[in-house]
Amino acid sequence: MSAEILSFETGLPAAPPPVDDEPALVVDVEGYEGPLDLLLALARQQKVDLAKISILALADQYLSFIEAARKIRLELAADYLVMAAWLAFLKSRLLLPEPATAEGPSAEEMATALANRLRRLEAIREAANSLMTRPQLMRDVFPRGEPEQIAEIKHPKFTATLFDLLTAYAAQRQQRVLASVHLAKRTVWSLAEARATLERLVGIAEEWASLDEYLMSFVGDPTQRATVFASSFAAALELVREGQVDLQQTQPFAPIYFRKRPPQPASDVASATEQPAG
């Protein structure tokens, strides 16, 4: 029964209600939220419990309200007119004796249903009112005005793979070696260093000795061998030229032997090969 009033617009007339000479009724649709609201307002005028309300009287009130509104050409929303039609129908059903084989709800049942709708609307309005009077947040009760922030502590979980690690290690070691040409020079024996060392060695080498062996035992770090050999050989040649040392090598790349030159006036020059050692 409610279906017929649902699909209408609620656009209510904005025109102010002109005061009519109708004594009891002030036609003021503007204040009502639809026909049920109007019916409820009218029902209140009966000043009885809604459960005991006379639907017949209510229908009369409503219909005369609508009549009055139409008389002053107030445009009523369709909802109100549909309700009026339905109430007129209900009124006639209530006044006429019930047919013996009635189909659908009886007039009494329809009236009760209407009364219940009104009661329900009234009840929900009362509930709404008491809801609104409850202590409301930010009106009556307040939360912490200055909430404190929860600080987020991030625990890093680090990731790295063995590949990252090895790549990094290899790359930087390699880069360092290849890029350190000038540093390699720093570890080169200077001629003076080599000569000083050889002079020290030669001081004890009365017999022929292998230079290689001496150098091997002297140079612990294999990375320095090449430079030690080169410098020592050059220094040795110098010492030979000065006549302090004899060198001998039996064939190319063979070990080089040296000894302190025995004190002899003769200038039988020691044979120094032209082949330098590696």
Partner 1 sequence: MASLAEKRIVEVDEPSETVGARPEELRLLEALLFAAAEPLDQAALAKRLPEGADVKAALEQLQADYALRGVNLVRIGSKWAFRTANDLSWLMTRETTETRRLSRAAIEVLAIIAYHQPVTRAEIEDIRGVVTSKGTLDVLLETGWIRPRGRRKTPGRPLTFGTTESFLSQFSLEALGDLPGLDELKGTGLLDSRLPTGFAVPAPSDDPALREDEDPLEPGDLDLALAPAVEPENPENPE
Q: Give, as ranges, the residues between 92 and 151 that touch partner 1 (CB under 8 A).
A: 109, 112-113, 116-117, 119-121, 123-128, 130-132, 134-151
Enumerate residues 213-242 that contact partner 1 by CB under 8 A: 221-224
Among 45, 92, 106, 174, binds partner 1 (CB under 8 A): 174
Tokens 């409820």 found at: 40
CB of 128 to partner 1, least distance (A): 3
From start to end of 199-240, where are the E strands?
A: 209-210
- Which burial class, exposed, middle or buried, applies to 199 when counting CB atoms under 10 A from its CB (0-12, 13-18, 19+)? middle
The two tokens of residue 219 are: 């140079």
Residues in Cβ contact with 72 at an 8 Å cutoff, skipping those fewer than 6 apart = 17, 18, 20, 27
Inter-helix orientation angle 107-132/78-95, to 10°:
140
The least distance separating partner 1 from the CB of residue 92, rounded to whole angstroms, comes to 21
Nearer to partner 1, 174 or 190 (CB): 174
Contact call for residue 165 and partner 1 (CB under 8 A):
yes
Determine if 44 is a binding residue for partner 1 (CB under 8 A). no
Nearest distance in Å: CB 258, partner 1: 25
Q: Is 267 in the site for partner 1 (CB under 8 A)?
A: no
Q: Which of 95, 160, 204, 266 binds partner 1 (CB under 8 A)?
A: 160
State the Cα–Cα distance between residues 239 and 232, nearest whole angstrom: 10
